[in-house]
Every structure is written in C-alpha cells, then in structure tokens.
Amino acid sequence: MAAQDTTSFPLSYNLTPSTAARAEAEREAILADPGFGKHFTDHMVVVDWDVTEGWHDARVVPYGPLQMDPASAVLHYAQEVFEGLKAYRHADGSIWTFRPEANARRLQRSAHRLALPELSVDDFIESLRQLIALDGDWVPSAPETSLYIRPFMFANETFLGVRAAHRVAYYVIASPAGAYFAQGVAPVKIWLSTEYSRAGRGGTGAAKCGGNYASSLLPQVEAYENGCAQVLFLDSESGEHIDELGGMNIFFVHKSGKLVTPALTGAILEGITRDSVITLAKDRGLEVEERHVSINEWKEGVASGEITEVFACGTAAVITPIGQLLGNGLSIGDADAPAGELTMSLRKELTDIQYGRLPDRHGWLTRLDA
Ligand SMILES: *Cc1c(COP(=O)(O)O)cnc(C)c1O
C-alpha cells in the first residue's frame, strides 16, 4: 500500500534563524498554559516543488505569514493535505515522536489521492528533526503536554484552470499543546449527523485533506447546538453503518473485552492511533473485529449490556470515552456514566509508551533531538 518515493536523495536544508524568537520567559509563560493550536513556535519548515525540479529549496525560516497570490490554486480548488503528530518530552529531557513513518506514508497516500507530489519517508522525518533542532525548547514537559506538529502540503500555483498544480509547497509548523483533558478524562457526548456525510465511495474519506474538514463544519455546528463535542458520520451509501467522527476513529468494547471498530472501507481515515489501539488490544489477548457496525447494533448492544464502553481515538485527544450519542429523536448511553475501565487502561498504556514510561516494545518511537 505504501506509495513510491519520488525523491531518491535526502533534501539538504538552509537555516535562517529568527531574529524575533521569543525570550525564554515569554516561551515559558506560553508553555505554562498553551491550550491547543493557539501558539506557534519561532520557526517553520518550507520545501518547494515544481514539475521540472521536483522537491527543492528545503529551508527552516522564521515562522510568519505566507505571501500568496489571490489566484493560488489551493484557495479555489482546495488541493491540500496535512498530517498531525506530536513530539513528547521524556523524563530525561529527550524529545521523541510516535510512528512518524506511518504519518509519512499516509501523507504520501493522501497526496496521491489529491494529485499532489509525494515526499519520501526520510525527507518527512528529516523535516521534523530540522524544526525540532531550532524549536526543541518549545516541547513542554508538564504531564500529558506535547508539541503538536502539523506538516501540510498545498497547490500554490497561480492558475485558475482546473488541473493538478505544477507548483506545490510543503510546510511544517508546530504548536505547543496542553493536556487535552485538564480536569481529568471525562466522557463526551457526540452528535449523529443523519443529513450530511463526510465521505462517499471513491471520494477522499481516506485522505487527510482539508476539504473533508470543510464539509464537516456545518454538521459540527449542529453538534455544538445540541451540546455535543463532535459529529458521528454514517456511511453515505446505506446510511446505517458507522464510519467515524469528524476527526477521530471509534471503538466499541463488548462485555467479553472484545473490541469492535468499523472496517477501513476507503471512506474512513486510517488512524495511526486506531492501528496502535488494535495492536495493544491484541497484545493483551483481546479479540479485535474490524467490520460494519450499525447504529442499531450500538443501540441494542447498550440496552442489552453487550456493549459496555465506547471510545474515540486520534492523535490530538489520544483516547476519549464517549458517554452518549444524540441525534434527531435518538439517545444512546448516559453522558454522566464514568469512563470505561478498558478505555482508560488502553489510554494509559498508549500514553505511557509515548512518554517513555513503558518500554517501546513495538519500536514506535523515533528520537527527534539527536
Ligand atoms: C487524523 C484523523 C483521524 C485520527 O488519525 P490519527 O492518526 O490517529 O491521529 C481520524 N479521523 C480523521 C477524519 C482524521 O483526519
């Protein structure tokens, strides 16, 4: 499934250190309460691509606004893909990231689907190291905090014709992230969208592209209006099977300890957290089924006691217990019920590996600061 690398050489970088880098005191004040996606580090990575030269001009430059032509293709046709991963500070001060080669390969698959050029796995990982080399001090050290890294790629050719762009740019920016659940992990309510879909057969559901998010924002508004944190989408063909949330995959825990998650149909984003949860569950000897799950199975399973826990997973929030599903004339579960035991224990095991508190038995960690 891995796409072919289109560059056979490692990119070499030019560095332009920022003259406006925040002083230590200012940085520490931000790191004390970073929130999520609000503050950005002092630098960013940029690599250009065009049809004749391929990838070239790799550089780390001061973080700042881009100058773009108003006719830049991405602004009109949304030819854009992105990734999300985290840098974790371990107790000895070292900086690590989690399964970056999986993000690199997914970026290649997303790029392929959006007719964008592919960046090699090595160049992807090197781009993270280059940013951390200058901005490593932005990786916070308080429990459950991290530096969220956002690589992205878009068509920046000045051209209004409709075709794959001949000029593309790849960027990496980073944003310190506080503990997602500052008050302790609490179950969330989610909203079932019956009117809107996020993906269809042959569409871009398995690509991590901004366009998928654009179409999820209106149902997300509906979710907020109904007191819910996120939207759950059904498959667009039958309207019965559960696909995933707007930005997270979903798991059901059965009373036997078995885990069930929707199978990857091409409409579902292949989450790296999802894959890691499956591996950790199998390591424990638990059965894992990847198959269709209908809303009816969820409803009846909760009523009969067959389904005991439900959780969502993704890099940003790791594992989030789902207390209740609400929809038009529908309510399943209880938002006030405590978080499930297996949900919380898988969450702890995964974060313990990420923060270096448990052995990395699957070779999932890559050191970024050495
Ligand atoms: C990124 C994303 C996920 C989660 O993927 P991870 O690799 O686990 O972070 C799930 N669904 C969608 C739609 C996503 O964009």
Residue 318 Cα to ligand 1 midpoint, Å, equals: 10
The H or E element containing residue 142 is none
Mean model confidence pLDDT for the chain = 95
Domain boundaries, the chain: 13-177, 188-354
Counting ligand 1 atoms within 8 A of each CB, the residue from 197, 198, 248 with the most, and so the one to mutate, is 248
At 3 the pLDDT is: 41
Q: Is 83 in the pocket of ligand 1 (CB under 6 A)?
A: no
Q: Which atom of ligand 1 is nearest to the CA of 276?
A: 8
At 8 the pLDDT is: 47
Q: How far are the Cα atoms of 43, 173, 194, 308 from residue 322, in angstroms, in the given order? A: 37, 30, 19, 11
Alpha-carbon gap, residue 16 to 293, rounded angstroms: 51
Q: Is 100 in the pocket of ligand 1 (CB under 6 A)?
A: no
At 18 the pLDDT is: 97
CATH hierarchy code of domain 13-177: 3.30.470.10
For residue 344, which amino acid is it?
M
Q: Is 84 in the pocket of ligand 1 (CB under 6 A)?
A: yes
With 0-12 / 13-18 / 19 or more C-beta atoms within 10 angstroms meaning exposed / middle / buried, residue 99 is buried
User: What value does the mean pLDDT take over residues 256-273?
Assistant: 97
DSSP states of 270-311 as a string?
--HHHHHHHHHHHHTT--EEEE--BHHHHHHHHHHTSEEEEE
pLDDT digits (tens, 9 = 90+) for 53-96: 999 999 999 999 999 999 999 999 999 999 999 999 999 999 99
Counting ligand 1 atoms within 8 A of each CB, the residue from 150, 208, 278 with the most, and so the one to mutate, is 208
Full-model pTM: 0.96
pLDDT digits (tens, 9 = 90+) for 236-245: 999 999 999 9
Residue 223 Cα to ligand 1 midpoint, Å, equals: 19
| Domains 13-177 and 188-354 alike in fold | no
Q: Are strands 318-327 and 259-262 parallel, antiparallel or unpaired?
A: unpaired
Q: Which atom of ligand 1 is nearest to the CA of 316?
A: 9
The residue whose CA is least distant from atom 12 of ligand 1 is 247
The residue whose CA is least distant from atom 15 of ligand 1 is 247
Counting ligand 1 atoms within 8 A of each CB, the residue from 36, 315, 346, 364 with the most, and so the one to mutate, is 315
User: What value does the mean pLDDT take over residues 95-116?
Assistant: 98
Residue 21 Cα to ligand 1 midpoint, Å, equals: 31
| pLDDT-derived band at 359, boundaries 50, 70, 90 | very high
CA atoms within 13 A on the CB side of 115: 13
User: What value does the mean pLDDT take over residues 103-130?
Assistant: 98
At 9 the pLDDT is: 59
Q: Is 248 in the pocket of ligand 1 (CB under 6 A)?
A: yes
pLDDT digits (tens, 9 = 90+) for 156-215: 999 999 999 999 999 999 999 998 777 778 999 999 999 999 999 999 999 999 999 999
Is 342 a residue whose pLDDT tops 80?
A: yes
Report the candidate in 160, 115, 177, 185 with the shortest Cα–Cα distance to residue 339: 185
Alpha-carbon gap, residue 95 to 147, rounded angstroms: 10
CATH hierarchy code of domain 188-354: 3.20.10.10
Alpha-carbon gap, residue 42 to 88, rounded angstroms: 18
User: What value does the mean pLDDT take over residues 302-319?
Assistant: 97
